[in-house]
Amino acid sequence: MKLEYFENGYRGQDLLLLYSGSEVEVENLRAAVRKLIASGTSLALHDLDFIESVDACKVTASSIASGGGVRALVAPRTFAWELVPSDWERVEGLLEPFCQSPPAGSRAKFQYLHEHGGTEVIYSTAREW
């Protein structure tokens, strides 16, 4: 699975794209999100052994008590993705369909994981959305 940042990626919004993961990798991501929810701590997505960061893109996911979203940090292509536990549960559920093999010859499928203004986050089966 790859993690890549696109400045003005879609509709003029910055975009973080997770893409091209195998069914096992997507399930590993779901498990990491479940662990994040349970522990209430932070998780560096770019450091997970099944995620390849493109152009040094870094995303730290955190479970917080209130508010949230994606914000750019000072370093280039470095982001904090902060959500309340119920929003992380939603993200985990949105990834579930990608744990099954797509039909042969099907086009890329994608799902917005965060689209509440600012930087958007999408999971896609390919480097497109």
- The whole-angstrom separation of Cα 20 and Cα 32 is 17
* pLDDT range class, residue 26, cuts 50, 70, 90: very high
Residue 12 reports pLDDT greater than 80 = no
Per the CB < 8 A criterion, the answer to whether 45 and 51 are in contact is: yes
For residue 100, what are the domain limits? Answer: 2-124
SS3 110: strand
pLDDT in tens, 50-81: 999 999 999 999 999 887 899 999 889 999 99
Mean pLDDT of 4-27: 90
What is this structure's pTM? Answer: 0.91
Based on the structure, what is the number of domains in the chain? 1
Strand partners of residue 70: 81
Residue 129 lies in a domain: no
Contact in structure between 95 and 26 (CB atoms under 8 Å): yes
Q: Which two tokens stand for residue 54?
A: 């493109």
Which residues 6+ apart lie within 8 Å of 36 measured at CB? 42, 43, 61, 62, 63, 88
In a domain, 33, yes or no: yes
CATH number of the domain residue 101 falls in: 3.30.1360
